Amino acid sequence: MIGYYSTRDPQKNPVSFEEALLKGLASDGGLYVPDHIPSIDPKNWLEATTIAEVGLNVLPYWLSQEVPLAVLDSIVRDALNFPCPVVKLEEGLSVLELFHGPTLSFKDFGARTMARLMQYFLQKRGEKRIILVATSGDTGSAVADGFAGQDSIEVVLLYPKGKVSLVQERQLIVWRPGVRALAVAGNFDDCQRMVKEAFVDPELSHLPLSSANSINIGRLLPQSLYYLWAVAQTPLLAERVNFCVPSGNLGNLTGGILGSLVGQPVQRFVAAHNDNHFFPDFLAGRAEAYHFLPTVATVSNAMDVGSPSNFERLYALLTPQRMREWIWGTTVSDAATLERMAHTYQTTGYLADPHTSVGLEALARYREQTGDTTPFVVLSCAHPAKFPEAVSKALGIPEPKEAALEALWEQETNVKTIEPSLQALKSEL
Ligand SMILES: *Cc1c(COP(=O)(O)O)cnc(C)c1O
């Protein structure tokens, strides 16, 4: 039986998975981490034929008996119903494409699974939730899509009007059952402030408000599954494999660490960061733990995180020494990102989005510095068509297109513009 304790609780008092999932953040402000790591026979993924099957075999070790197997079976089949192929770029280098879900980024894996798990527990309790999210990018659309149609949960999305790209906006505002988008006449900080104020406002305390940000354990555990599924698809990798993870909030990397700890040994992780470089600095011994930096804007904007919240979780799971032995980090500028995108396209024909390009550049540097010849899998985090301008400019080709994004322009929308004030948000709730 695995319990989950808050990173800020010295007593390590465990709560159930259900409680950790429905609370998201612990009351003391900490993040939930498992009180021990299950040891799982690799047969559970090596013999699986779909990622849903990996989920059905592996998640019960984390959820103990809290979700009946038949329920979990339908949850993972419904949530993880899209491909996630390993694509070989050259000898010893593959990418794991995580962008074939409905909103075309890896966030779909976590958001879709978490939404269905929450729906199960809420229905059992006869409770409802209103999920409030302030978003500037991939998280908002993955959460909107993941939770749409789960009838115990309503989603209210706040985004800064005119401050997200046209494609991103379209992904946020298309009509979805149980989802409302609010275009705030302000910036992202206004959206975040309004959400925070709403959570503590006494006049709203009767509403079952909840959040779905990337620190929820329910989003993290599903993110360990695709590492296992990558190895299952490519038997050679079961012998020896390294993963390179384009990183911002460190949720994706933490998923990989959990996947390795349960029984799929990974020799080295490479944490590929853009100009937001706290974590590479920490790994190299140039920064103390928690000496975070202000966020800077880059072309890989889903990784623009100055203070990665999952660092606190990694720090609870691994000693600093272990982190530094196991994870190698580097910081990649926008110029180096776009150069690597062009180089990869010219030498392999592969169209990598800006986030994946940060990973490909980091991997090249790692190999040059260490001479390590272990086969590498770089996580390909988003579809290039989500970043048409950057890709087109870097490669001198027409803007990449993708049918799922094109179809968005035909769909009905559901969005209302509001003033950047708590009062305006209140009248919507
Ligand atoms: C969220 C995101 C990242 C960063 O992942 P973290 O879990 O925050 O480290 C990287 N690339 C894309 C495309 C993303 O959407």
Residue 387 belongs to domain with CATH number: 3.40.50.1100
Give 187 or 376, the one with higher predicted confidence. Answer: 376
| Residue 225 within a domain | yes
Mean pLDDT within 311-332: 97
3-state secondary structure of 125: helix
Residue 334 within any structural domain of the chain: yes
Q: Answer yes or no: is 113 within a domain.
A: no
CA–CA gap between residue 296 and residue 68 (Å, rounded): 44
CA 1 to ligand 1 center in whole angstroms: 31
Q: Which atom of ligand 1 is nearest to the CA of 247?
A: 9
In this predicted structure, what is the pLDDT of residue 222? Answer: 97
365-391: average pLDDT: 95
List, for residues 120-130, the tens digit of each pLDDT value: 999 999 999 99
**pLDDT-derived band of residue 213, with 50, 70 and 90 as boundaries?**
confident
- How many structural domains comprise the chain? 1
Residue 358 in any domain: the answer is: yes
| Substitution site in 133, 270, 273, 303 for ligand 1 pocket (most atoms within 8 Å of beta carbon) | 303
DSSP annotation of 335: H
Distance, CA 374 to ligand 1 centroid (Å)? 24
In a domain, 303, yes or no: yes
Q: How far apart are CA 71 and CA 256, in angstroms?
A: 25
Which has more confidence, 309 or 339? 339
**Distance in Å, CA 124 to ligand 1 centroid:** 32
Gyration radius from the chain CA atoms:
21
- Judge contact between 84 and 97, C-beta under 8 A: yes
Distance from C-alpha of 64 to C-alpha of 240, rounded to nearest angstrom:
30
- The whole domain housing 231 covers 82-105+220-395
What percent of the chain lies above the pLDDT cut of 90? 83
- Kindly tell me if the per-residue pLDDT of 237 is higher than 90: no
Q: Which residues line ligand 1 (CB under 6 A)?
A: 105, 107, 138, 214, 246-252, 302-303, 355, 381-382
SS3 string, 11-63, reads CCCCECHHHHHHHCECCCCCEEEECCCCCCCCHHHHCCCCHHHHHHHHHHHHH
- Residue 237's Cβ-side half-sphere holds a number of Cα atoms within 13 Å equal to 30
| Average pLDDT along the chain | 94
Asked if residue 147 lies in contact with residue 153, where contact means CB atoms within 8 angstroms, the answer is yes
Residue 249 CA, closest ligand 1 atom number: 8
Rounded distance, CA 399 to CA 385, Å?
Answer: 7
344 within a domain of the structure (yes/no): yes
Neighbours of 310 (CB within 10 A): 24
- Would 373 be classed as within a structural domain? yes
pLDDT at residue 193 above 80? yes
**In-domain check, residue 208:** no
Which residue's CA is the nearest one to ligand 1's atom 14? Answer: 302
**Ligand 1 center–CA 298 separation, angstroms:** 13
- Quick one: which atom of ligand 1 is closest to the CA of 99? 13
Q: How far is the CA of 205 from the centre of ligand 1 (A)?
A: 32
Pocket test for ligand 1, best of 221, 252, 337, 386 (most atoms within 8 A of CB): 252
For residues 74-94, give the mean pLDDT. 97
State residue 298's pLDDT score: 93
Instruction: Quick: pLDDT tens for 214-233.
Output: 689 999 999 999 999 999 99
Alpha-carbon gap, residue 342 to 347, rounded angstroms:
9
Mean pLDDT in residue range 172-182? 95
pLDDT for 341 equals 97
Residue range 90-104: mean pLDDT, rounded: 96
pLDDT over 90 at 239, yes or no: no
